[in-house]
Structure 1
Amino acid sequence: TAPAGAAPAAAASGGGVSRERLTLKDLRIKNAVRLQGTRGEISIPFGVRKNQVVTDASITLQLAWSPAMLGDLSQLVVLVNGEVVQTVPLRPQDSGGQVLTLPINPALFLPGDNQLNLRLIGHYARDCEDPFNSVLWANVSNTRSWLDLTTQALPNVPDLSHLPGPFFDRALNTTLKMPFVFAGQPHKGELEASAAMAGWLGSMASYRGFSFQPLFGQMPMGNAIAFLKSGQSLPGLNMTVSGPSAAVVRNPRDSYGTVLVIMGRDDGELRLAAAAVSSGRGVFGGARMNFDGARVPSYPRYGAPRWITTDHAVKLGEIMEPYALQGMGLPPGPLTARFRVAPDLFFWPRQGGTLNLIYRYPLAKWMDRKASRLDISINSQFLKTLPLAGSWWSDWFGSKGANSFDGSASLTLPRYNLFGQNDLVFDYNLILADKQKCTGTLPDNVRVAVDPASTIDLSHAYHALEMPDLATFAGAGYPFTIRPDLGETTVLMSRNPTPASVQAFLNLMGRFGDSTGIAPTGVTVADGVDPDRLSSQDILVIGSSAIAGAGQVFANAPLHWDGHGLKVAEKSPLQYVSALFSDRGLTNEADVEPMIHAARGFAGIVSFQSPYASDRTVVALVADDAADLPPLVDGMADSKINAQIQGDLSVATGDGMSSFAIGSTYWVGSLPIWMKVAFWFSQRPLLMAFGTLILALGLTGPAYAYFRRQARLRLGAKDE
């Protein structure tokens, strides 16, 4: 199987021929396919590289179906790009499970975007039936069903105008795997340049996943990205470095592969060339370009293009294609609006942001208007149900036939349900009004929509967060992505990082690019500590556990290196006292020590306050074995593991992560003084009650003394 994102390996099959097996799970179908109703159907997009032609193909399906369906009337139709591949009869005697392998005419495949459809035509009665009866179903496995494709690569003329192709093809939805080639041991300049390229590819491949494997001094098969400075060389590449430049050449090991070479005479020029390519500065063309004088854009704090601004309300049509907010058929399927926000939004005393929704639905005799509804949820958490009943004036003055109605509502998007990446789901539940036997027909061409003019308003939010909070790092790369180009980030690594450490670094840069939509062209890589410079930087540490003993970086860390291994730092009495007044208590060392000294070695993420600035953060990815670092980063792409990363320490346990809150907390961001004080007291009700009592005593004491004095004076005058 050729790596997704790389050209087929000619040596493996010969003459540019590649054989690839893609399961439905590889095609982003996360769960088994369940087709329901008389016309259940799923459409699965997939891609064929534009420089390839399919010469042979087949599809294997592992399926089962309801034994109650009539075998002579029920069938599964397999289509590719709208053309029928085969119709499979669904007989009751085979319903327990069947494996089918169907050949596909290669002429049906197109370069670029393609569509695979599985359509269920099911019947359980010969006269009339309920189209939504529960006996009408068929299941198709997503892990044991696959496409087998044999492709022939076409000659490719290297040209920079084709970027980002062939290194990234938008039509593909399999994981992007791209080798990064270094002439030797990479250091500061090569790592900073490769960070920009990894973030560039990660920002484009966010929907399909990605992995970047570093190679030192050797060329792979297929496509690759290479980095060269003056005096360096790679096998088969005869390149003269004459300044900040980029070139595309044929892979010397694979005539059907292409290598993008980033070049510079020194670290600065190498970084400039990578930044120019990854930020798209200039018009690209030809096999080689020079970037002398290129100006790389910089971005303000919270300027990530993929983050919804807090300056004004944002229309849904501005963050996604309007056609994605329309549904058709029964059921019309949930409509999903995906958006990203800065993870440090602070709304208190408000509950969260506001969704000003305009939604459209049909009004017709076939629909039960009292039972039909629109359910809205965010990140799998239910928000509200809205009615689909029209209004009194539409009943009296509207059309007597089919009609449509626009409803509107204002909903709160709770702060506790807003993360770096969010899914806002609109699920229309349209109920048939008359389900009596043999009456009516299934309505066709039913359409619903969410108006693109609907807005998400976060303009009342401040930017502030109690740290450390690894959930924001795992979800959105916070706090490093506050500057989308990572202009306020320093990455500390060993002087000679291992390939595994470099891979973890590259994959992490890809995640940052995915979060912001911007290549991290401003990141700084260092192998030593400069306290003056680090006072204005957030620090990311990647390496073996021994790096935790280097310098003063880990002075505030909940873990430290004692020369033999990692130990949990002892808490000071002040930390215990402050924990009593905090809404996040401290974890006992006895609960953490067994996780640190696991039999297979430690691998985890730790976060703490920077020793060089009170408003800066350190996040460290450390492992006893550097080979455990890439899985640590890759695990963040798994929604289940990502949700387990919290607090200030997350430890890999084999089947996920275990998280703890060990150290003290601190605030980053900007809030008015009065709000800081009010929020601090609001999180500590006992202390607030005690403070109220003290305030009451403070006010009533002087008043009591004053009136007592007045009474004495009055009584004294009466005696006289």
Structure 2
Amino acid sequence: MNTRQLVVFVIASIIACSLGSASIQAQENAPNRELNDGSNVLTYRTQYPVDALTSLQQLRLDGFTPSIELGLGSRADRLVNSATLTLNYRYSPAILADISQVNILLNSETIKTISLNADDADTTQTIRVDLPAPLFTDYNRITFELVAQSVNEQCRAPSASTWFEILSGSQLNVNYLQLPVANELAYFPEPFFYRSDFSNVNIPFFLPEQQSTELLTGAGILASYFASETQWRLLDIKPHIYQQKRDLNDQLLTAWGRQHAVVFMTNAQRPAVFKPLPEITQPRVELLDHPLYPQLKVLAVMAPDDAGLIDAAQALAAAAGSLSGAYATFNQFDAEPRAPYAAPNWISTEREVKFSELVNDVSELQRQGVKAPPISVPLRLPPDLFIWQKSGVPLDLEYRYTAPVSNDDSRLLVSINNEFVKSFKLDESGVASGVGELRVPIIDTPILSGNNLELPAFKLGVVNQLQFNFKFSQIGAGCSLQSANSSVGAIDGSSTIDLVGFDHYAQLPDLQLFAKAGYPFSRYDDLSNTLIVLDEKPSLDLLSLFFANIAKMSASTGYPVYNLSVTHVEQVPNNASEDILVLGQSATQQWLARFGDKNLTAQLLGHKLAGQSQLFANPNAVLQNSGPLAALVAFQSPLNPAASVVMQTATSNEHLNMLKERLLSPSDSIQFHGFLSLVSVAGITNYAATQQYFIGDLSFWNQVKYHTAQHPFILVLVVLFAVLVVALGLYRWLRSSAKRKREL
């Protein structure tokens, strides 16, 4: 912690102590009061399960893994006031007492030493450790170091018999003090999202009671910007409705909460607290003080009318990082349509991609220690990557390591999605030795010899983890074993993955592709080929689902949806060529009433679902169930055979939240399959598609080969026909040749 942070901490602590009795612990539904004296102190308490602070599956120390590290990010606008670590643990009965201990360090400073007594061995122990608040910084490392020796050992050789395990239920409790935030757009997207904070992101959006499609389009664009920045964190946009009037006592009616917020307003619609603001003459964004807590900020997205809010949101997303001051004004923004498959997060099929582009920092590609966790490289592939007749994805792998003391069994193990691919022997050279080429298998193939390996293992998915595990052997006898932490392995950032030459072709409907990556809408990362159809009067639950879908797609592509189009059913053109996402029960009913349900009914008939009142009450296939039930359904668009329709609806708007939670959950979203998924309190029920259609850029000849290969009987007929044609041609040629000879 630097001097400035220390001074701020001391001042803030004095304020907190003197005003502790007046500390605000209000919840979202607390009465609203205008506070202009700046005397309120905002505090927050957060609990972090210890196992959530690391990617390790098991928090276990032993002689080969004598230390582990937990990581805790932080927000620059919050100061740690106090922190307590509650630790549940067990340790080995083979540990020698009096000598053995576990040191707990915070940012490299020792905080606590746990003595390991023989009487408490192999029993569950609990200890509470107070962590000094001044030691916390932007990124905090809590380190556990085991210093242990076995009862029967005569030396300090590493041993797996000396273990110390951190048990479930261990947690870190941190109390934060909210610091004042300046009205400065140069830090945007702060204070709404901090890259140094590893927590999931929750941002409240305040909207007027009357929401036009233009206003919702602007709000969706800004939500997508936040989603593209949050990376692996989950983003939840919470919509709220603000009131434009005060009550009879001149108090605010809007529940503004205790968070930094975003508000959308025009000259015609603005919150009561911001009525005194001057008339808006052009699209504008400004950081304003929170109506209740002066430490917090409100980002006001303003325009003379609703259409201008689209320009303001587009320009703000595009200009983030180049803003300065408390406000910025914008002219009309023209977002150029993007090419398909240009998503920054997806591995390009136009060029080789380096591993250094797939991680946040090249330090993530290095590990130290005999039993270090694997190096994990995320691979986001285009959802419609056509892998038929491809033996594998080629990798050009380069790596370095500390050379083994002798020619032992040290190896580099390569896996994908926890499935073993290949191993490389680590010799005395310390480099890849020219054997770094391999292919990640994607279809069932026989095992081949040589540097390129094909395994009958699995098929790559949309989101994958490529894992490299350096396994170092320790050669020696007794006390001469190599030090446990002296072995280092690294994957070079210049290693590449090559998808050049792969085509795009997908069989639809497939809700798995939608739930994982927003496909087919995310083919164009700016959603320039998408129409989102909403109810004319969307509820807060439906708006929450709308923002969740936008966040899901932009988190997958890593790009804001600058060309988002939000509309209602009556505004959809009869010849619309776009992919269409229909949200809400009313919009679903209107869509099916206007455009029919031929393609949907064809799928339902394959499962005998049409006409069953407990699922679909009428030919329009609208959910009419007495209990909570939500549906996600996809089918071919009746307006364009190369486009898709995805509908999301529920028995009531309140039950849309079940669908939203599962779409946002990484573990639940992979459970969606087929053309229809029904979500109830019992889980997710899927129905496979009985009729398929295909989209993509596959050549005509490759389409013929692929589709005939899927139907062997047709292939046999084609071959027989070809043989017949050749035979007839040959017969006619021989007959013609014989006739010419007779004439001679």
TM-score, structure 2 length as denominator?
A: 0.83
Alignment-derived partner of residue 18 in structure 1: 44
Seq. identity, %: 26
Please give the alpha-carbon distance, in whole angstroms, between the structure 2 residues aligned to 1:63 and 1:598. Answer: 49
Shift of 1:458: 0.3
Measure, in 2, the Cα distance between the counterparts of 1:245 and 1:224.
16
Q: How does 1:515-526 map to 2 (within 5 A)?
A: 515-526=556-567
- Deviation, structure 1 residue 375: 1.4
* Structure 1 equivalent of residue 102 of structure 2: 76
Q: Deviations over 1:528-575 (max 9, x none)?
A: 244537622110111127724533456344369xxxxxxx7335xxxx
Distance 1:480 1:18 in 2: 39
| Contact 1:222-1:256 within 8 A present in 2 as well | no
Aligned counterparts of 1:613 and 1:114: Cα–Cα separation in 2: 53
CA contact (8 A) 2:383 2:513 kept: yes
CA distance in 1, matches of 2:646, 2:697: 21
Which residue is equivalent to 1:576? none
Query: Separation in 1 of the partners of 2:411 and 2:666?
Result: 29
What residue number does 1:243 align with? 282
Shift of 1:414: 3.5
Contact 2:157 2:481 in 1 (8 A): no
Relative to structure 1, the CA distance from residue 90 to residue 504 in structure 2 (aligned partners, 3 Å threshold; closer, same or farther) is farther
Query: What's 2:221 paired with?
Result: 196
Question: Relative to 1, partners in 2 of residues 1:702 and 1:319: Cα closer, same or farther, differing over 3 Å?
Answer: closer
Q: Which residue of 2 aligns with 1:337?
A: 377
Q: Distance in 1 between matches of 2:485 and 2:628?
A: 60
Contact 2:709 2:715 in 1 (8 A): yes
Displacement of 1:460: 1.2
Match runs of 1:413-428 below 5 Å: 413-415=440-442, 417-428=459-470
Give the alignment of 1:657-672 within 5 angstroms: 657-672=684-699
- In structure 1, the gaps of 5 or more residues are 1-8, 395-402, 561-567, 572-586, 715-720
Which residue matches 1:328?
368
Cα distance change of structure 1 residues 56 and 555 upon mapping to structure 2, 3 Å threshold: same
- 1:309-367 Cα shifts (integer Å, max 9, x gaps): 111211112332322212222224311111322111113322342111112223232x5
Give the match for residue 58 of structure 1: 84
Name the residue aligned to 1:569.
604
Matches within 5 A, 1:258-297: 258-280=297-319, 283-296=322-335
| Partner of residue 355 from structure 1, selected from 392, 395, 402 | 395
Residue identity opposite 1:514 in structure 2: A
Which of 410, 416, 420 is 1:382 aligned to? 420
Partner residue in 2 for 1:650: 677
Alpha-carbon contact 1:66-1:92 (below 8 Å) kept: no
Conserved 8 A contact 2:548-2:664:
no
Q: Report the secondary structure of 2:584's partner residue.
A: strand
> C-alpha distance in 2, partners of 1:384/1:557?
45
SS in 2 for 1:679: helix
CA shift in 2, pair 1:138/1:269, >3 Å: same
SS of residue in 1 equivalent to 2:542: helix
Work out whether residues 265 and 302 of structure 2, in 8 Å CA contact, stay in contact via their aligned partners in 1: yes
CA distance in 2, matches of 1:166, 1:710: 87
Structure 2 portions without partners, runs of 5+: 1-21, 27-39, 243-253, 444-458, 617-623
Matched residue, 2:186: 161
Give CA deviations for 1:387-430 in whole Å, capped at 9, x if unaligned: 2235xxx6xxxxxxxx5554432222344633332211111111
Deviation (angstroms), 1:31 = 4.7
Please identify which structure carries the higher strand content: 1
Letter in 1 for 2:486: N
Q: Classify 1:588/1:459 alpha carbon distance in 2 versus 1 (closer, same or farther; 3 Å).
A: farther
Amino acid in structure 2 at the alignment position of 1:385: S
CA contact (8 A) 1:281 1:296 kept: no
Q: What secondary structure sits across from 1:532 in the alignment?
A: coil
Query: SS state of the match for residue 435, structure 2?
Result: strand
Do the aligned residues in 2 keep the contact of 1:604 with 1:651 (CA within 8 Å)? yes
Summarize the Cα distance change of 1:431–1:55 in structure 2 as closer, same or farther, 3 Å threshold.
same
| Rounded Cα–Cα distance in structure 2 between residues aligned with 1:129 and 1:666 | 69
Which of 444, 463, 471 in structure 2 is aligned with 1:429?
471
- Residue by residue over 1:610-639, the C-alpha shift from the partner in whole angstroms, topping out at 9 and shown as x without a partner, is 111111111112111222323323323434
Conserved in 1, the CA contact under 8 Å of 2:78 and 2:178?
yes
The residue correspondences of 1:485-564 to structure 2 (distance < 5 A) are 485-532=526-573, 535-544=576-585, 547-548=588-589, 550=591, 551-553=593-595, 555-558=597-600
> Corresponding residue for 2:233?
208
1:107 aligns with 2:149: no
The structural deviation recorded for 1:205 is: 1.6
Distance in structure 2 (CA, Å) of the matches to 1:467 and 1:273: 36
- The structural deviation recorded for 1:105 is 1.3
Note the alpha carbon deviations across 1:616-675, whole angstroms, 9 max, x for none.
Answer: 111112111222323323323434322221221122243642322234111111111110
Equivalence for 2:709: 682
Aligned AA (1:302): Y
Alpha-carbon shift at residue 686 of structure 1 (Å)? 3.2
More displaced 10-residue stretch of structure 1: 645-654 or 271-280 = 645-654
Change (3 A) 1:125 1:363: same
**Shift in alpha-carbon separation, 1:531–1:352, aligned structure 2, 3 A:** farther
The alpha-carbon distance between structure 1 residues 62 and 595, as it changes in their structure 2 partners (threshold 3 A), is farther
Question: Matches of 2:96 and 2:614 in 1, distance apart?
Answer: 59
Q: For 1:466 and 1:674, how far apart are their aligned partners in 2? A: 17
Q: Which amino acid aligns with 2:311?
A: L
Q: Give the drift of 1:591.
A: 14
The match for 1:183 is: 208
The question of whether the paired residues in 1 share the 8 Å contact of 2:231 and 2:558 is answered with no
The corresponding residue for 1:581 is none
Letter in 2 for 1:618: V
1:222–1:440: structure 2 CA closer, same or farther, 3 Å change rule? closer
Partner of 2:9: none
Matched AA of 1:677: V
| More deviation, 380-389/473-482 | 380-389
TM-score (norm 1): 0.86
Taking the aligned partners of 2:586 and 2:267, their CA distance within structure 1 comes to 34
- 1:718 alignment partner in structure 2: none
Query: Structure 2 counterpart of 1:513, which letter?
Result: S
The corresponding residue for 2:620 is none
Query: After superposition, where does 1:35-50 map in structure 2 within 5 Å?
Result: 35-37=61-63, 39-50=65-76
Cα distance change of structure 1 residues 351 and 268 upon mapping to structure 2, 3 Å threshold: farther
**Displacement, 1:255?**
1.7
What CA distance in whole angstroms lies between the structure 2 residues aligned with 1:313 and 1:684?
35
Residue in 1 that maps onto 2:411 = 373
Report deviation, 1:491: 0.6
CA pair 598-188 structure 1, distance change in 2 beyond 3 A: closer
- Structure 1 distance, partners of 2:538, 2:51, is 34
Matched, 1:224 2:261: yes
Distance in 1 (CA, whole Å) between partners of 2:690 and 2:382 is: 24
The letter of the residue matching 1:45 is G
CA RMSD of aligned residues (A): 3.2
